[in-house]
Amino acid sequence: MSNIVLKNIDKFYGNNHVLKNLNLTVNDGEFMTLLGPSGCGKTTTLRVIAGLEKPQNGIITMDGRIVVNAKELFFEDPGNREMNLVFQSYALWPHMTVFDNVAFTLSVKKIKKDEITHRVNDALQRMRIEEYAKRYPSELSGGQQQRVAIARAIVSQPKVLLLDEPLSNLDAKLRVDMRSEIKRLHHEMGTTIIYVTHDQIEALTMSTRIAIFFEGVLEQVDEPMKLYQNPASLKVADFIGNPRINFIDGTGTVNTDGSLTIDSIVGQMTFGKEHLTENIPSAGKFPVVLGIRPEKIEIVTAGTANTTTGAIYSVQPAGADTTIHVKVGDEIIIAKKIGICNYPIDAPVGLKIEPDHLNVFAKESGKIIKTAVLEQ
């Protein structure tokens, strides 16, 4: 069991309030990713969980056992928390072989040699680097060194594995390969993993849940595809997605029956109250922002019924998919199509937008007021 609960955590560095009343639960066996831009507090959160930093306020429990109580100045020693941390830098001993690097922690604990050999070989096998056991770190590639660092972290069978941007030093192809390996490792071991990254693709493809941070505040925690389809705020919507989400200004009107009517350059739409959230104003007109994912926009022949007319602004084929910019009035709307396609610049086209797939945000609060229908 490795259920971790953070309650009302505050962390300051001098006058800099890095973590602001953080409340987060990491469930047993899940892959939780802490995601956000540089300086948002995600690495500090990881270090607080690991015991490398002491918060000024709050409580942390692990399986119901208090490991941090800032008010009483109680901070359990990091070595007693049954966690292992993999840093961005691999931190391997250059004078030790791969086998000895992985075995080091077990040797310090004076575990029997036969058990050490069995555990190290198992860890190397899991990371598919058993053939490099007798090599030194200087003889390995960056990806191989990262596998050694992870093998060293899992060999002692920790309850929690903490990964601090472990793939940021690798090239694009190696990052894709290592994502697959880490996700497979999580499936096989069932260990609770807390993973820090600023790379949204890593977060979306690997996690069971994602926690998004902005300026020390936890903005949203949800499953990857739920977060992608229904971001809680304009901040989250803008951060997640490549190409970026389309933001279109409009006006919202709350009708007498509780429904919401939106007017914008993509037409008028009305949504029943079953699609609306508690963030919606109670009555009257107010400014809104529509959020439309590029892949949810279909490009059709200009003049097709129930479409918005625009003109091709630019076309960017990338092999597997094509990104198309369409000018509608003074706005540029981005669409994405699978495969290779082309359109003449300035050619008139129609944009077909399915209302079920768009989000609506209140412009003043930035909060979501109309959710998309979730796709499985």
The pLDDT of residue 282 is above 80 = no
Residues above pLDDT 90, as percent of the chain: 78
Where helices occur in 166-259 by DSSP H, the ranges are 172-189, 200-206, 224-229, 234-239
pLDDT on residue 127: 86
Peptide bond into 243 cis (omega under 30): yes
| Residue-wise pLDDT tens digits, 226-247 | 999 999 999 999 999 989 999 9
Has residue 122 got a pLDDT over 70?
yes
What's the whole-number average pLDDT of the chain?
Answer: 93
- pLDDT(88) > 80: no
pLDDT band of 157, cuts 50, 70, 90: confident
- Residue 2: predicted pLDDT: 76
Among 264, 263, 260, smallest CA distance to 283 is for 260
pLDDT for res 7: 98
Confidence category of residue 91, pLDDT binned at 50, 70, 90? confident
**CB neighbours (10 Å) of residue 16?**
9
Please give the pLDDT value at position 281. Answer: 82
pLDDT tens readout for residues 165-199: 988 877 888 888 888 888 988 998 899 999 999 99
Token digits of residue 288: 């809104």
Q: What is the pLDDT of residue 337?
A: 94
Please tell me the predicted confidence (pLDDT) of residue 1: 57
- Per CATH, the number for 244-370 is 2.40.50.140
Is the pLDDT reported for residue 320 higher than 60? Answer: yes
pLDDT in tens, 125-144: 988 899 999 999 999 988 88
**What is the average pLDDT across 200-205?**
93
* Long-range residue pairs from 117-124, CB within 8 A, at least 24 positions apart, any chain: 119/155, 119/156, 119/157, 120/151, 120/155, 122/155, 123/151, 123/152, 123/154, 123/155, 124/98, 124/99, 124/151
Please tell me the pTM assigned to this model: 0.92
CA distance 161 to 83: 6
Architecture of the domain spanning 4-237: 3-Layer(aba) Sandwich (3.40)
Percent residues over pLDDT 70 in the chain: 100
Domain ranges, ordered by start, for the chain: 4-237, 244-370
Instruction: Residue count of the chain, please give it.
Output: 376
Half-sphere exposure of residue 362: CA atoms within 13 angstroms, side-chain side:
19
**pLDDT higher than 80, residue 8:** yes
Structure confidence at residue 95 (pLDDT): 94
Per-residue pLDDT band at 89 (split at 50, 70, 90): confident
Q: For residues 216 and 17, is the Cβ–Cβ distance under 8 A?
A: yes
Q: What torsion do the CA atoms of 220, 221, 225, 230 make, to the nearest 10 degrees? A: -30
The distance of Cα 275 from the centroid of its chain, to the nearest Å, equals: 25
